[in-house]
Amino acid sequence: MFISGFIYILGETLKGLYRNRWMCITSTGVVMVTLLMLGLFMLVNLNVRHITEAVKEQVEMVVYINEEADRAAVEELGQKILGHREVARVEYVSSEEHMGRLQQQLGGMLEGYDSALDNPLLASFEVRTEDPEAVVRLADEFEAYPGVAAVFYGQGYVENLFEVTRVVQVIGLALMVGLAVTAVFLISHTIKLTVMMRKREITIMKYVGATNWFIRWPFLLEGLLMGLVGAALPLGILNYLYGSSIEWVDVNELMFINLLPLQTVMAELAIYLVPLGTGLGILGSMLSMGRFLRV
């Protein structure tokens, strides 16, 4: 009985898919298009996050040291900053090194200027924080330390950068949630149509004494298969599109567009899209069948 039931369920699943092939193609198409849009957006979002994180990583602050501070005071200040739990890295830059950098930046403009005699540039500590966004707060804190002349971190620009990345992330998240909700709505309605078309069959099954699980299985398997195909196809398309984008960036030598590697992105997308597709297929079947089983 178990084997004949299993064969029947499997057969019914395949027959159901064939008999309602146009409806199944439509449902799978809906799953595919929504997951493709969702995947496309996730792809953009992942890369935007990656690029903004990379920009954020470059945020650092420069703590200028008072001219009057002696060697011991400088060392003490250095230790104090390094000892702060939110600080990741501290690098001492002497006034001579600053002058050297300046001369390099300005090229020949400072030719003949003897920096050993008159160097107005202050020595500094270049500080990287664990969380780039902490620089704004830490700058205020470090400014109050003895021996500190001033603290710079690109005031104004950094706040704007953080604000923009925050807005991009919030919009990204909102759009992804919106797309996921749309996907659930579209898929459950499409599967509901499939189930409604087979309402007669379900009612007859109930009258002849089939158990609810016996009725559910073929529909669940159908939903699962549709969801799986609906997720696999967008993954294939996205794999091709993203691969081409990476190639295009390479060919055009647009090195400032720092895209994530293909495998990393596809693995991340598969982790979300495959369970989402199959889950939506099964959930859609379950939700749309409930009413018809109460006979």
Partner 1 sequence: MVEAKNLCMKYGKGKQLALENVNFFIDRGEFAFFVGSSGAGKSTLLKLIIREIKPTEGVIKVFNRDVGRLPRHRLPYLRRNIGMVFQDFRLMEERSVYDNVAFAMIVTGSSRREVKRRVPHVLNLVGLQDKAKAKITDLSGGEQQRVGLARAIANRPAMIIADEPTGNLDPGTALDIMNLLRSINLRGTTVLVATHNRDIVDRFRKRVLYLENGKLVGDEQKGIYTNVH
Q: Which residues bind partner 1 (CB under 8 A)?
A: 1, 4-5, 7-8, 19, 200-201, 203-212, 214-215, 295
For partner 1, the closer CB: 218 or 230: 218
For partner 1, the closer CB: 44 or 204: 204
Residues 112, 160 contacting (CB under 8 angstroms):
no
The alpha carbon of 106 is separated from its chain's Cα centroid by a whole number of angstroms, namely 40
Residues 63, 140 contacting (CB under 8 angstroms):
no
Least CB distance to partner 1 at residue 295 (A): 6
Of 247, 272, 275, nearest in space to 261 by CA:
247
Of 270, 247, 243, nearest in space to 39 by CA:
270
For partner 1, the closer CB: 98 or 216: 216
Least CB distance to partner 1 at residue 225 (A): 21
For partner 1, the closer CB: 8 or 145: 8
Least CB distance to partner 1 at residue 223 (A): 19
Least CB distance to partner 1 at residue 214 (A): 6
Least CB distance to partner 1 at residue 7 (A): 8
DSSP-derived 3-state class of residue 125: strand
For partner 1, the closer CB: 61 or 205: 205
Sign of CA dihedral 227, 231, 233, 234: positive
Sign of CA dihedral 144, 145, 146, 150: negative
